[in-house]
């Protein structure tokens, strides 16, 4: 062991055995956190000496501010990243420069359009009343231990349906409305989204020559990738072609039920005429496939995972749960009786105005995302040799990995109580939400590539959490060390979150 190294280094193999062991045990995030604490926030992870897979790992906010904000032009996603993330095609996550600028502008105008925001909330409410709550109600009527529900799985199904409706304009009904118990139906499509996420992490860990060889031979993880990819393509290209035919044959207008993003993009071409197609043809099947896939996957996974971690954190901190319920109770009591019917009053369904006033719930979402940032790693590739503020030299084409998970557990950022779940740390003395610079609270990234769905995510998570916590109590099962984060693009709970559901009598 090299005494200056944070991790065991083996002859020839470098740190690879420790890395693989932590992957196998689902302890990769804690392994990184320990190593980063030991080294003051930055270290070089050395792979086998015969292949070039070394990368710098950092959680140091001064390095992060420098790389993402001050000298961002020198740090890009890079060629290898594009290859690893191939299933996402040329979607916004995979590209730099002009293509990224074009897509960012387009998605910004789509996602932050007030009409689309209103449509998002209506769709969410409708699906929640018709599908999510009936499934939970049914589980709640079963007394005894047998009817434990994997609520992460239920949320994932719900969000898959919801994102397909918002993005593609149809409901795959993965969470069926009239569910009468037993096993929930399988969905090859939703599973394919999961499998592609696993493939990406596998590719990140093994040398590019190994996985490209496996891909050519169609074996192992790469065979899984090929099958999942083809399932996703069938769904997406099929929907795109159908939508185009529909638009060509009918006189189409963007009415109430046609606010899905796919239709919006197809209709937009005729309206704007700004010649943006010179950079990318917005209506080409490939562009639409890559963009729609990115949005469905991101929306489904991030909202599912935030809601699952939030419920877990809240249920394990009864004082936090009590304060959230008090805040919701006050918001409901403050409604003028004439404005809402009885069902609505008791239902915990908050409107936008009410959601904006739920400071404690907002702080709880922030605190959950600090300790469980759903995108636990971020990546950049160095363009030209540079020296980071921490004094480390980075070389051309070297990879830098940012452990966002570890950042939430650093005393130098959050203080001595960094491991405690304390929503109060987000609230100022005057009762407002404190502003923490994004290069310290990196859950939504900092700089020009900041998440475009941040405001949508906060609204949706607060909306769902308030209705769920107000209406149900979740009695968690196997709530101990078995709760482990997955190692993937998005951090889920490895074995789901099993709970008995109990209806509250508010
Ligand atoms: C709590 C929920 C969410 C979290 C924690 C989150 C986090 C992130 C992160 C870390 C990135 C940077 C990824 C990278 O560059 O590699 C990102 C980018 C992005 N996010 Fe989110 N996200 C969330 C929800 C959403 C939602 C609901 C949408 C929309 C459906 C969305 C749309 C995007 C887009 C389009 C980008 C690309 C921005 C760019 O490259 O310019 N996100 N998000």
Kindly give the distance from the C-alpha atom of residue 233 to the centroid of ligand 1, in angstroms, as a whole number. Answer: 22
Contact present, 406 and 33 (Cβ < 8 Å) = yes
What confidence score (pLDDT) does residue 194 get?
Answer: 84
The Cα-based distances of 319 to 316, 422, 484 in angstroms read 9, 10, 23
How far is ligand 1, taken at its centre, from the CA of residue 375, in Å?
A: 9
Is residue 225 included in any domain, yes or no? yes
Q: Whose CA is nearest to atom 14 of ligand 1?
A: 93
Reported ipTM: 0.98
In the block, tokens 């050395």 appear at 46
Residue of 81, 298, 365, 459 to test ligand 1 pocket, by largest number of atoms within 8 Å of CB:
298
Encoding tokens for residue 26?
């689902």
Specify the CATH number for the domain of residue 99.
Answer: 1.10.630.10
Gap from CA of 295 to ligand 1 centroid (Å): 9
192 ligand 1 Cβ < 6 A: no
Report d(CA 5, CA 285) in Å as an integer: 49
**What do you get for the CA distance between the two ends of the chain, in Å?**
60
Q: Evaluate whether 357 touches 432 at the Cβ level (below 8 Å).
A: no
- Does residue 147 belong to any structural domain of this protein? yes
**Structurally, how many domains does the chain consist of?**
1
**Residue 67 domain flag:** yes
CA–CA–CA angle 339, 343, 349 (5° rounding): 75
Element (H, E) at 459: helix 454-471
pLDDT on residue 273: 45
Q: Is 311 part of any domain?
A: yes
State the residue range of the domain holding 360.
54-503
pTM given for the model: 0.92
Residue 132 has pLDDT above 80, yes or no: yes
Our CA angle for 427, 368, 291, nearest 5°, is 115
Q: Ligand 1: does its nearest atom lie under 6 Å from the Cβ of 76?
A: no
Helices (H), ranges, 338-428: 342-346, 352-357, 359-371, 404-407, 411-414
154 occurs within a structural domain: yes
Residue with tokens 């950049």: 380
The three-state secondary structure class of 178 is coil
Which ligand 1 atom is nearest residue 442's CA? 10
Residue 175 and residue 138 in contact, taking contact as beta carbons nearer than 8 Å: no
Q: Whose CA is nearest to atom 31 of ligand 1?
A: 453
Closest Cα to atom 39, ligand 1: which residue? 449
Residues 6+ apart with CB under 8 A from 353: none
- The pLDDT tens digits for 319-346 are 999 999 999 999 988 887 765 555 555 5
Q: What pLDDT, on the 0 to 100 scale, is given for residue 254?
A: 47
In a domain, 106, yes or no: yes
Residue 43 lies in a domain: no
The DSSP letter of residue 313 is H
Question: Is residue 342 in some structural domain?
Answer: yes
Cα 294 to ligand 1 centroid, rounded to whole Å: 10
Sequence-ordered list of residues with C-beta below 8 angstroms from that of 308, at least 6 positions apart, any chain: 151, 152, 155, 492, 493, 497
Helices in 95-150 by DSSP H: which ranges? 97-111, 114-127, 133-141
d(CA 33, CA 40): 10
Q: Would you say residue 145 has pLDDT above 50?
A: no
Does residue 451 have a known ligand-binding role? yes
pLDDT digits (tens, 9 = 90+) for 242-266: 999 988 887 555 444 568 999 999 8
DSSP H or E segment with residue 382: strand 377-382
Kindly report, residue by residue over 89-124, the tens digit of the pLDDT: 999 998 888 889 999 999 999 998 888 888 999 999
399: Cα within 13 Å, side-chain hemisphere? 20
Segment 174-186 mean pLDDT = 73
**Atom of ligand 1 lying closest to residue 103 CA:** 41
Q: Is 92 in the pocket of ligand 1 (CB under 6 A)?
A: yes
**How confident is the model over 359-383, as pLDDT tens digits?**
999 999 999 999 999 999 999 999 9
Residue 413 has pLDDT above 60, yes or no: yes
- C-alpha separations of 131 from 162, 190, 219 in Å: 11, 17, 39
Query: Collapsing DSSP states into helix, strand and coil, what is residue 34?
Result: helix
3-class DSSP state of 147: coil
Q: Cα(268)–Cα(282) distance, rounded to whole angstroms? A: 9
Ligand 1 atom at shortest distance from the alpha carbon of 294: 35
pLDDT attached to residue 199: 87
Q: How many CA atoms, within 13 angstroms, populate the side-chain half-sphere of residue 151? A: 30
């Amino acid at each position: 062991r090299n005494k200056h190294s944070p991790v065991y280094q083996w002859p020839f193999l470098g740190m690879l055995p420790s890395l693989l062991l932590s992957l196998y045990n689902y302890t990769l995030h804690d392994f990184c956190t320990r190593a980063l604490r030991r080294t003051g926030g930055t270290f070089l992870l050395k792979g086998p000496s015969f292949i070039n897979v070394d990368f710098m790992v950092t959680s140091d906010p001064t390095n992060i501010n420098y790389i993402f904000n001050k000298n961002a032009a020198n740090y890009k996603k890079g060629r290898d990243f594009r290859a690893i993330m191939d299933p996402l095609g040329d979607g916004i996550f995979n590209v730099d420069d002009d293509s990224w600028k074009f897509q960012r502008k387009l998605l910004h105008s789509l996602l932050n359009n007030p009409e689309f925001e209103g449509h998002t909330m209506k769709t969410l409410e409708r699906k929640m009343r018709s599908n999510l709550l009936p499934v939970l109600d049914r589980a709640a009527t079963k007394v005894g231990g047998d009817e434990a529900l994997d609520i992460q799985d239920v949320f994932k199904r719900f969000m898959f349906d919801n994102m397909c409706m918002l993005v593609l304009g149809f409901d795959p009904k993965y969470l069926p409305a009239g569910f009468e118990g037993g096993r929930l139906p399988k969905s090859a499509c939703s599973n394919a989204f999961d499998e592609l996420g696993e493939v990406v992490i596998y590719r990140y860990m093994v040398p590019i020559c190994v996985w490209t060889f496996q891909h050519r031979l169609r074996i192992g993880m790469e065979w899984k990738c090929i099958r999942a990819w083809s399932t996703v393509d069938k769904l997406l290209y099929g929907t795109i072609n159908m939508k185009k035919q529909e638009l060509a044959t009918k006189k189409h207008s963007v009415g109430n039920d046609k606010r899905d993003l796919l239709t919006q993009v197809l209709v937009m071409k005729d309206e704007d005429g700004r010649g943006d197609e010179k950079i990318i043809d917005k209506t080409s099947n490939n562009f639409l496939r890559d963009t729609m896939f990115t949005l469905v996957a991101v929306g489904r996974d991030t909202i599912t995972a935030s809601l699952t971690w939030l419920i877990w954190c809240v249920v394990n901190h009864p004082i936090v749960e009590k304060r959230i319920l008090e805040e919701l109770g006050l918001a409901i009591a403050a409604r003028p009786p004439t404005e809402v019917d009885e069902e609505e009053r008791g239902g915990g369904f908050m409107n936008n105005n009410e959601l904006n006033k739920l400071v404690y719930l907002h702080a709880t979402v922030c605190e959950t995302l600090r300790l469980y940032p759903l995108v636990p790693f971020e990546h950049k590739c160095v363009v030209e040799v540079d020296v980071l503020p921490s004094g480390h030299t980075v070389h051309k084409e070297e990879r830098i990995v940012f452990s966002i998970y570890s950042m939430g557990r650093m005393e130098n950022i959050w203080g001595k109580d960094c491991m405690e779940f304390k929503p109060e740390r987000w609230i100022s003395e005057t009762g407002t939400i404190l502003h923490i610079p994004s290069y310290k609270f990196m859950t939504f990234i900092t700089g020009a590539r900041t998440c475009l769905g941040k405001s949508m995510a906060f609204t949706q998570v607060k909306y769902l959490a308030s209705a769920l916590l107000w209406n149900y109590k979740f009695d968690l099962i196997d709530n101990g060390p078995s709760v482990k984060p997955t190692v993937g693009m998005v951090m889920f709970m490895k074995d789901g979150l099993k709970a008995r559901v109990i209806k509250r009598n508010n």
